[in-house]
Chain A
């Protein structure tokens, strides 16, 4: 079955430290992978995507993600976290005719 997992419900990191939000997937064929962020009382905002090409993709707000085919992972990273990065993060893949979202990881960046 096609699925995406985010193994951590919550990630806490100190401001200025690097952050990683984990995502693993189970998709047949070549995956089209995405990261979205949701701030409180807001809609989902697109951060970045991997379709093909370079395994390291860069997105909005200084975020990047690394596609690892052998580990079926697509972890979201940022070199230096900001308090304003605190939000709910969703990993997703496009399959068939729709996006399938993970359960989400809540990131808290502590000042």
Chain B
């Protein structure tokens, strides 16, 4: 596609439910990143994929968070047993490779009630 696509754009879920956030990167981009951004603050790193391999998940807050990119393209970030503190904007980005600029999607605004 022309840009990084994320879905849904908005997600409201009840505490304790599982959610899955989807990211469709720019075609051909090898690197894929997930970030979380609080309002008015800089994005915080969650996890990184090189092709289908999850090479860094050091930013995932706890074991309720997981991510996959099984075919080296679309990625899913899953949050199990959501809590109110998980409410944030979740952003996906892709790049041709490491050290090159990353292109961000519009993000998914997650609200846990």
Residues of A within 8 A of B (CB): 32, 34, 36, 42-46, 49, 51, 88, 90, 92, 94, 96-104, 106
Taking a contact as CB atoms under 8 Å apart, the answer to whether B41 and A46 are in contact is no
Give the B interface residue count (CB, 8 A).
Answer: 24
Q: Mark B34-59, 1 if CB is under 8 A from A, else 0.
A: 00000011111100101000011001
- Closest CB of chain B to A49's CB: distance in Å? 5
Told that A43-B4, A88-B40, A97-B98 touch, could you supply 14 new A-B pairs with CB distance under 8 A? A42-B106, A46-B101, A46-B102, A46-B103, A92-B42, A97-B48, A97-B55, A98-B33, A98-B56, A99-B43, A99-B45, A101-B42, A101-B43, A101-B44
Nearest A-chain residue to B107, judged by Cβ: A43
